[in-house]
């Protein structure tokens, strides 16, 4: 094969951007080509005529084919940014969402002791726990997940980010070492089993265990709320992410379980997305 027959970056990007049915098709194509070639996105702009080796072009086209089927870009790259930190992601974990950064912001605003003991239940990639640990080095942050693959991944992310977060294999509180926390934070599964969103977009490719929680989506939140008081210090806080329409139900669960100062907070889209007490 002569070098003349090699495709250029621009030709590959243009073709892929036309094929990918997403609002961000050009960006997706650039991210995938950057991932495969090791070149930067600005490099494509500076040298659009740069040729791509046949083998790499084939690998790129294979990723584009998956993207066309709807596989989330984060799974294809194996990475997602959260709280400006790079997280490895895999099919065993939810892809960290920008709205969950609001949960981190809220946790950082709570009146907590300097050396707070914190646990993130159902940590997945470790996103919430590691974001908190990066902001508050003096906190003792731990995390747990039911899925062994997620525990392994969260540990990898902790060591890659050099953050001292202990990760346990545990279904909610069941496998945690005895102790009391100043803050329990969680983004549990909260989608109702029949919800039509489960058939749309990225969530089609994400693990159901991280998304679905019984007929009304509240099974896991009910369990967490009912057990949390036994794991909290007297002035401790519980902070939970939930669906946009679940705030009053979650407030009710917390109040009934004896929590005080129960309030909900909004996500970036203006929806009541988390409740604390
Ligand atoms: N917010 C996610 C979504 O609907 C769901 C996250 C979750 O169930 N914890 O895309």
pLDDT of residue 226: 98
pLDDT tens across 42-101, in order? Answer: 999 999 999 999 999 999 999 999 999 999 999 999 999 999 999 999 999 999 999 999
131 C-alpha to ligand 1 centroid (Å): 18
Domain residues of the chain, as ranges? 3-70, 80-276
93 C-alpha to ligand 1 centroid (Å): 12
Q: What is the CATH T-level fold of the domain 3-70, as seen in this structure?
A: Helicase, Ruva Protein; domain 3 (1.10.8)
Contacts of 193 (CB under 8 A, 6+ apart): 212, 213, 214, 215, 217
Residue 206 CA: nearest ligand 1 atom is: 10
Which residue, 264, 254, 189, 209, is CA-closest to 227? 254
Residue 189 CA: nearest ligand 1 atom is: 8
191 C-alpha to ligand 1 centroid (Å): 7
CB 13 within 8 A of CB 41: no
113 C-alpha to ligand 1 centroid (Å): 30
pLDDT of residue 213: 98
Residue 94 CA: nearest ligand 1 atom is: 6
123 among annotated binding-site residues: yes
Q: Consecutive sets of 10 residues in the chain, 277 residues long: mean pLDDT of each?
A: 78 97 94 96 94 97 97 97 98 96 98 98 98 98 97 98 98 96 98 95 95 98 98 97 98 98 97 98
pLDDT of residue 4: 61
**Distance (Å) of CA 92 to CA 56, 78, 187, 206, 238:** 27, 12, 15, 7, 25
93 among annotated binding-site residues: no
Residue 97 CA: nearest ligand 1 atom is: 1
Give CA–CA dist 139/115, Å, rounded.
5
145 among annotated binding-site residues: yes
Which residue, 59, 128, 123, 132, is CA-closest to 92? 123
Q: What is the complex's ipTM, to 2 decimals?
A: 0.92
Q: Which residues line ligand 1 (CB under 6 A)?
A: 94, 97, 187, 189-191, 197, 203, 211
CB 75 within 8 A of CB 153: no
CATH of domain 80-276: 3.40.50.150
């Amino acid at each position: 094969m002569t070098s003349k027959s090699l495709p250029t970056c621009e030709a590959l990007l243009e073709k892929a951007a036309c094929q990918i049915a997403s609002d961000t098709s050009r960006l997706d194509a650039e991210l995938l080509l950057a991932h495969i070639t090791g070149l930067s996105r600005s490099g494509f702009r500076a040298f659009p005529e740069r040729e791509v080796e046949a083998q790499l072009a084939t690998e790129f086209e294979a990723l584009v084919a998956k993207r066309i089927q709807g596989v989330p870009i984060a799974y294809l790259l194996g990475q997602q940014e959260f709280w400006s930190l790079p997280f490895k992601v895999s099919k065993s974990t939810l892809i960290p969402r920008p709205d969950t950064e609001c949960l981190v912001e809220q946790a950082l605003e709570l009146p907590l002791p300097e050396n707070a003991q914190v646990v993130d239940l159902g940590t997945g990639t470790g996103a919430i726990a590691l974001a908190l640990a990066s902001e508050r080095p003096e906190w003792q942050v731990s995390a747990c997940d039911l899925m062994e693959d997620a525990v392994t991944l969260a540990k990898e992310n902790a060591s890659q980010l050099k953050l001292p977060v202990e990760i346990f294999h545990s279904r909610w509180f069941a496998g945690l070492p005895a102790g009391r926390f100043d803050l329990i934070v969680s983004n549990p599964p909260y989608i109702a089993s029949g919800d039509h969103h489960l058939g749309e977009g990225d969530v089609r490719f994400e693990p159901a265990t991280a998304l679905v929680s019984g007929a009304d989506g509240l099974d896991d939140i009910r369990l967490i709320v009912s057990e949390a008081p036994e794991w909290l210090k007297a002035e401790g806080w519980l902070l939970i992410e939930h669906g946009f329409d679940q705030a009053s139900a979650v407030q009710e669960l917390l109040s009934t379980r004896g929590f005080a100062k129960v309030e909900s907070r909004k996500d970036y889209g203006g929806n009541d997305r988390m409740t604390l007490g």
